[in-house]
Amino acid sequence: MGTVNAAAPRPMRSDAQRNYDRILEVASAAFAEKGVLTSLDDIACRAGVGPGTLYRHFPSRDCLIAAALGESLGRLDALAGRLKASDDPGAALDEWLLAVANHLRTYDNLPESIAEAFRTEDSPLRASCRPLTETTSLLVRRAKEAGAIRADVEPLDIFALVSSVAWASQRRGDSDAGLRRMLALATTGIR
Amino acid sequence: MGTVNAAAPRPMRSDAQRNYDRILEVASAAFAEKGVLTSLDDIACRAGVGPGTLYRHFPSRDCLIAAALGESLGRLDALAGRLKASDDPGAALDEWLLAVANHLRTYDNLPESIAEAFRTEDSPLRASCRPLTETTSLLVRRAKEAGAIRADVEPLDIFALVSSVAWASQRRGDSDAGLRRMLALATTGIR
DNA sequence: CAACGATACGGAGACAGTCTCCGTTTTGTC
DNA sequence: GACAAAACGGAGACTGTCTCCGTATCGTTG
């Protein structure tokens, strides 16, 4: 073909970009303050746009959540890079799981949304978790090879375990220390 | 005083009793089929009563859930009786925790509702869990005394752990075997 | 058994949230 | 500056929650 390739993503129009940014900014704040179940119309309103505009940019709540999670995800990614180079696979996995659990607590009710997203094939929120599950898989494999954890636990089980601990600690309003404790308790069994 | 005691709970009027029963019956079926988040107006409709009637009998969704849980709770209570008499505290606790986890999976989304109920002092749903947490405390104490589990874990932590496993296994659509596996994995740490 | 007060019913409708449709406005290009 | 494409925004359809109050039913009493 003549054109370079499939999606030539022509840049957003300036007003569109501006609105996109404003919505994202307001949404992040709202999610942080009231959890991911906040009214979307309300977010649109606070961002000074109509509901239609919000839904055009982010067709579903999950899209918006996924976008708002970008920053936290970036931090996780940086950590992942460091941990992949670690020479203590057991400790690396521990640190990673704690970081993932904390990520899941970024917003109230986030664990529920993510768990739900995992039930539908093409959820944007699930897609945003991709690097997260992949890193988990890698670190689990390394830990197994190093004999730091049992050979018969699957990465997905571990992810589920961490999610559920994040869920519980959020429901209980636990502190960071509380999360750490629960996570340690729940993950003892993988060793 | 002359009267027997405080609340002389005069019996329901016959039509009220009939409606109460019908609502409960329909609600149980609806919860079992579609989870505890089903539309209450819809339940009222199917029970052949107006929304007002439903809300008079069960002022909140939690009230209705608590009432619908009665049967499962009865079964748990019977099991509790047996386990309290067991001479193997470790095994008794294991069996109990599995039963509790299964109870929490009675309806879809029940773990969320219960976790939420635990955040408000006078929730009817929380009240309905009372015998459940008490039995857990007792069995945990016995298991500690027998040296079957660590002395530094609290009953509430264990309850939270079981809840979160029930939550996760429900979100994943796990089978009974799956639940059993996850529960074993998550509770290894208490030993 | 009639009549009356207490009890309970039920549905209209207020309210909140989601999401869409389409007439209008803004943008960027020629 | 004019035109087409892109984007806006808000009215409103729809769903679910929950209440209020005029009406119906029940059970008791004379």
Ramachandran quadrant class, A107 (left: phi over 0; alpha: psi -120 to 50; beta: rest): beta
B20/B78 same-domain check: no
C1’ C23 / CA A60, Å? 25
A94/A177 same-domain check: yes
B161/B92 same-domain check: yes
Instruction: Please state the separation of Cα A82 from the chain's center in Å.
Output: 18
- A185 to chain B: which residues are within 8 Å by CB? 153, 157, 161, 189-190
Range B12-19 average pLDDT:
97
Task: Provide the residue-wise pLDDT of chain A in tens; the chain has 191 residues.
Answer: 434 444 567 899 999 999 999 999 999 999 999 999 999 999 999 999 999 999 999 999 999 999 999 999 999 999 999 999 999 999 999 999 999 999 999 999 999 999 999 999 999 999 999 999 999 999 999 999 999 999 999 999 999 999 999 999 999 999 999 999 999 999 998 88
A40/A89 same-domain check: no
User: What pLDDT is attached to residue B189?
Assistant: 84
User: What pLDDT is attached to residue B190?
Assistant: 86
Rg (CA), chain B: 19
Which nucleotide does the CA of B61 lie closest to, via C1'? D17
**Contact criterion met (CB < 8 Å) for B163 and A161:** no
B143 vs B189: which has the higher pLDDT:
B143
**Strand C, CB < 7 A, residues 2-21 of B:** 10, 12-13, 15-16, 18-20
In a domain, A5, yes or no: no
Of residues A112, A153, A161, nearest to B112 (C-beta): A112
- What percent of chain B has a predicted confidence (pLDDT) above 70? 95
Chain B residue closest to A117 (CA)?
B171
Angle of CA points B161, A165, A185, to nearest 5°: 60
Range B5-21 average pLDDT:
83
CATH number of residue B46's parent domain: 1.10.10.60
User: What pLDDT is attached to residue B169?
Assistant: 98
Q: Which residues contact B144 (CB under 8 A, 6 or more apart)?
A: B150, B151
What is d(CA B12, CA B22) in angstroms, rounded to the nearest whole number? 14
Range B121-150 average pLDDT:
96
CATH number of residue A138's parent domain: 1.10.357.10
A78/A55 same-domain check: no
Around B157, how many Cα atoms within 13 Å sit in the side-chain half-sphere?
19
Which residue is it, tokens 């509702």?
Answer: B113
In a domain, A84, yes or no: yes
Give yes or no for a contact between A68 and A45, defined as CB atoms under 8 angstroms apart: no
Give the Cβ contact number of residue B86 at 10 Å. 15
Domain range spanning residue B160?
Answer: 70-190
In a domain, B107, yes or no: yes
pLDDT for B2 beyond 70: no
User: What pLDDT is attached to residue B78?
Assistant: 98
Question: Dihedral angle at the C-alpha atoms of A23, A45, A126, A155, nearest 10 degrees?
Answer: 90
Q: How confident is the model at residue B191 (pLDDT cuts 50, 70, 90)?
A: confident
